[in-house]
Amino acid sequence: MCPICEAYCGLLVEADSRTKKLVGIRGDHEDPFSKGFICAKGYSWTELHDDPNLIKTPLIKRDGKFVAATWEEAFDLIGERLNAICKKHGPDAVGFYFGNPIAHKVGLLYYTPPLLEILGSRNIYSASTVDTTPKFLSSGLMFGDCTAVPVPDVDRTDYFVIQGGNPVVSNGSLMTAPGMPKRIKAIRERGGKVIVIDPRFTETAEIADQHISIRPGTDPYFLLAIINVLFAENLVRLRHLDGKVRGIETVRALAAEYPPERVVAACTVPAEVIRQLAREFAKSDSAAWYGRFGTCTQSFGTVSSWLQDVINVLTGNVDRAGGMMFPVGIIPNVVFNDIFVGDVPPVNRWQTRVSGLPEFAGTFPNGALIEEIMTPGEGQIRAFITMAGNPVLSNPNSQGLSEAFENLDFMVSLDIYLNETTRHADVILPSPPHAMHSDFPAYFVHLMVRNVPKWSAPIFPLEENQRHDWQALSEIAARLAGITVEDFEEKQLQAMLKRFIADGKHPLAQSIDPLTARTALGEEPGPDRIYDLLIRTGRNGDAFGLDPDGLNLEKIKQYPHGLDLGPMIPRVDEALKTPDRKIDVAPAYIVADMDRLRAALPDYEQPNSMVMIGRRDPRTNNSWMHNLNVLVKGKNRCTALIHPDDAARLKLSAGALARVSTHIGAIELPVTITDTILPGVISIPHGWGHDKEGVELDIARLHPGANFNQIVDQRLMDVPSGNAILSGVPVTVEAVAAS
């Protein structure tokens, strides 16, 4: 499986076991999920595997410079320093950050939670609060489970609305569906319709039926107008959800304030287009309203994410074929799977020390990081662990975060590169290449549009001086707990066995004998054993022999291209974890943000500045793919897109440098003039800025680009979720005088 993004495309890899090189890669046409689809990022795996800048041995910083060290030296130093800091200042003095690649490294995914449990710190951060937290939060409050994110049934829908997403480029975020271009075209070929709502005429809009241009940040007003029409024209029909929904009258009252004519000045979408979309969506045999990055990363990201699913519910398009469904998955998800405990939702159960920002699913908003490191007092972060992430590039106020990391007493990074973040570390632990560990879809099972289990063997064995990710995490956990690695591994396994016998989805799960199960799992530690446990206690499992027709890891291995268990199935009763087992379309925690939304409307009706949005290029994936020549060669991909009217007003010519600034800083980059973007909007890709001292990324430094996040204020957040505001950021744009 491709290790780059969440599409999990099947690959055929030609490898040389003597030189340990990946010779060639192509799409696997026998993969029942991706059916041969592959993008440029998949082809780049050959370069990624053999990148000379990959860290191969632990590094320890001595006298300001990194030197090679043994694993034991690194683990001893980590254990000594972290234990000393915890003993003196308490566990909250150690912060932890994990990035998106954790979802593609099963060792990190399965061994991070028990490490965090031993650490006992509340200062846990992840890439989600610059990406997806509003969608997880709205799902958690509406359906009762943070991982109960409704996913579009793209293979069976008649009407597909894509708002603030670009799946042709992203390959489907929070929607694991490889080959999205083919899937979108297939909707149209079978007589369906595809609508894209975005400030930019994106690559996805190019193959859609209709593009609706919208001003950044105004999505909730637009969505409320859609709901207004549904009620005003008697288009609400719950269908099979009748009796399973509460809060409808609250939604009706809220939407009554926003008829289409009232929101036109703010969102720039004509009233007749709003009515057309509401009517067509409601009257379609099946329809799916999908929102992603653009709607999550704005001032009202949670409200926008919530309203999208309210529309799906009010039209009866949740938990039915062709609508928004809850993937069943071969195994349960073990990250971000917080649910209600009694009447207590999985949000705001504790707050950050300095600004009182809300916790969600056990993590804090990344916007709190700088102040939690720099503000003295009890609970101040004094040590930090980063894992598979580059927050200095991917988080707002990157310069401020870089300075904060320099003020730490101790820092550890688990990563493949010496990059903009890890250069601040005292110890860097390398991660082995993807080709050296087994792989299976562990995280994205709850987002897959088809239930396709798979297992891929390692292509090469580890070299003598390499350690698996899970082995490194086990060593750190053991040193923090004062136990052996073997004891840590056994404790983790027993805890998961107990949990998934009790909560397993298989009808016979609770009849499993723990001793029999433990014996069957064997003595070989690692993620494969956990995968086997989760398969066997899942709905398709063998319940450790109680269901002879069921699956286990050995049976999955007999299907090297993957085993297609079919499309998503209706399962709302099983998915709902709210206290009354009903869909709450008016969660009080989100509805409380409506006063802020009302107050902000005049600012959108009379815009007085340019606003900035991000974008992703088909040949990049966040910040860590820029060191591969095959992906960055050719034209400069870090340019600012600007409309011809704005270019003329600002006296900007194609290719000229523009200075884009906010109150916290400025960046300069060349402009691309295009009518594919809404006037008043400037689009800058994220993940660039590879010009920092101490970075060892030879290719990336030749194509540094400008860092979008350098001018984004980390204190600007979506209030309910704490998610960063990256879309619709007010900026000043001016031409840079030629020298």
**How does DSSP assign 54-90, residue by residue?**
S--S-EEEETTEEEE--HHHHHHHHHHHHHHHHHHH-
The stretches of 197-352 forming alpha helices (DSSP H) are 219-232, 248-255, 260-267, 271-283, 293-296, 301-314
Contacts of 684 by beta carbon, 8 Å cutoff, 6+ apart: 612, 613, 614, 615, 638, 640, 641, 660, 667, 669, 706, 708
Please name the amino acid found at residue 700: A
Q: Is the pLDDT of residue 450 over 60?
A: yes
For the chain, domains (ranges, CATH) are: 11-49 (no CATH), 59-121+335-556 (3.40.50.740), 133-326 (3.40.228.10), 608-735 (2.40.40.20)
Q: Are 569 and 331 in contact (CB under 8 A)?
A: no
Q: How many CA atoms lie within 13 A of 26 on its CB side?
A: 4
Q: Is the pLDDT of residue 623 over 80?
A: no
How many Å apart are CA 233 and CA 111, to the nearest integer?
Answer: 52
Show the CA angle centred on residue 611, arms to residues 606 and 616, nearest 5°: 145
pLDDT of residue 725: 97
Confidence of residue 738 (pLDDT cuts 50, 70, 90): low
Which range (1-10, 529-538, 541-550, 578-587) has the least confidence? 1-10
Rounded to 10 degrees, the C-alpha dihedral 482/485/486/490 comes to: 80
pLDDT of residue 161: 98
Q: Which letter, b or e, does each residue of 168-196 get, where b requires 16 or more Cβ atoms within 10 Å of its Cβ?
A: bbbbbbbbbbbbbbebbeebeeeebbbbb
Residue 695's CB is within 10 A of a number of other CB atoms, namely 22
Confidence of residue 704 (pLDDT cuts 50, 70, 90): very high
> Distance of CA 129 to CAs 354, 375, 454, 704, 722, Å?
18, 21, 30, 25, 7
Tokens 């490898």 correspond to 15
Residue 254's CB is within 10 A of a number of other CB atoms, namely 20
pLDDT of residue 248: 98
Contacts of 446 by beta carbon, 8 Å cutoff, 6+ apart: 147, 148, 149, 326, 327, 329, 332, 333
Q: Are 537 and 509 in contact (CB under 8 A)?
A: yes
What is the separation, in whole angstroms, between the first and last Cα of the chain?
49
Q: Among 622, 489, 524, 502, which residue's Cα sits nearest to residue 110?
A: 489
Average pLDDT over residues 104-126: 95
Name the 3-class secondary structure at 536. Answer: helix
Average pLDDT over residues 365-380: 97
pLDDT of residue 77: 98
Q: Are 431 and 466 in contact (CB under 8 A)?
A: no
Q: What is the 3-state secondary structure (H, E, C) of 590-605?
A: HHCCHHHHHHHHHHHH
pLDDT of residue 621: 75
Q: Is the pLDDT of residue 689 over 80?
A: yes
Tokens of 204: 């996805």
Name the 3-class secondary structure at 238. Answer: coil
pLDDT of residue 334: 82
Tokens 């969600």 correspond to 360
Phi then psi for 324, rounded to 5 degrees? -100, 125
Q: Among 314, 155, 156, 291, which residue's Cα sits nearest to residue 230?
A: 314
How many Å apart are CA 678 and CA 264, to the nearest integer?
Answer: 15
Show the CA angle centred on residue 412, arms to residues 411 and 416, nearest 5°: 135
Q: Is the pLDDT of residue 459 over 90?
A: yes
Q: Are 100 and 390 in contact (CB under 8 A)?
A: no
pLDDT of residue 171: 87
Confidence of residue 624 (pLDDT cuts 50, 70, 90): confident
pLDDT of residue 143: 97
How many Å apart are CA 658 and CA 735, to the nearest integer?
Answer: 5
pLDDT tens, residue by residue, 542-560: 999 999 999 999 999 999 9
Average pLDDT over residues 26-33: 97
How many Å apart are CA 212 and CA 222, to the nearest integer?
Answer: 11
Tokens of 738: 């030629």
Helix, strand, coil percentages in the chain from 3-state DSSP, rounded to 5: 35, 15, 45
Tokens of 503: 């909560």
Residue 334's CB is within 10 A of a number of other CB atoms, namely 18
Whole-number average pLDDT of the chain = 95
Q: Among 518, 584, 599, 510, which residue's Cα sits nearest to residue 546?
A: 510
Q: Are 164 and 219 in contact (CB under 8 A)?
A: yes
pLDDT tens, residue by residue, 48-61: 999 999 999 999 99
Q: Is the pLDDT of residue 739 over 60?
A: no
Show the CA angle centred on residue 671, arms to residues 669 and 675, nearest 5°: 150
Q: At what angle do helices 527-537 and 514-521 cross, to 10 degrees?
A: 140
- Per DSSP (E only), the strands in 303-388 are 324-325, 347-351, 358-360, 383-387
Tokens 């940040």 correspond to 217
How many Å apart are CA 37 and CA 308, to the nearest integer?
Answer: 29
Average pLDDT over residues 449-464: 95
Beta pairing partners, 551: 541
Rounded to 10 degrees, the C-alpha dihedral 207/213/217/221 comes to: -110
Tokens of 655: 């290719």
Tokens of 34: 């991706």
Phi then psi for 375, rounded to 5 degrees? -90, 115
Q: Percent of the chain, pLDDT > 90?
A: 92
Q: Are 97 and 386 in contact (CB under 8 A)?
A: yes
pLDDT of residue 559: 97
Please name the amino acid found at residue 414: L
Contacts of 638 by beta carbon, 8 Å cutoff, 6+ apart: 669, 684, 685, 688, 703, 705, 706
The stretches of 503-643 forming alpha helices (DSSP H) are 514-521, 527-537, 553-556, 572-575, 588-591, 594-605, 629-632
Q: Is the pLDDT of residue 475 over 80?
A: yes
Q: Is the pLDDT of residue 185 over 70?
A: yes
Confidence of residue 335 (pLDDT cuts 50, 70, 90): confident
Name the 3-class secondary structure at 211. Answer: strand
Confidence of residue 264 (pLDDT cuts 50, 70, 90): very high
Q: Percent of the chain, pLDDT > 70?
A: 100
Residue 522's CB is within 10 A of a number of other CB atoms, namely 10
pLDDT of residue 625: 86
pLDDT tens, residue by residue, 139-167: 999 999 999 999 999 999 999 999 999 99
pLDDT of residue 620: 81
In sign, the C-alpha dihedral spanning 359, 362, 364, 366 is negative
Q: Is 606 exposed, middle or buried (0-12, 13-18, 19+ CB in 10 A)?
A: exposed
Q: What is the 3-state secondary structure (H, E, C) of 716-738?
A: CECCCCCCECCCCEEEEEEECCC
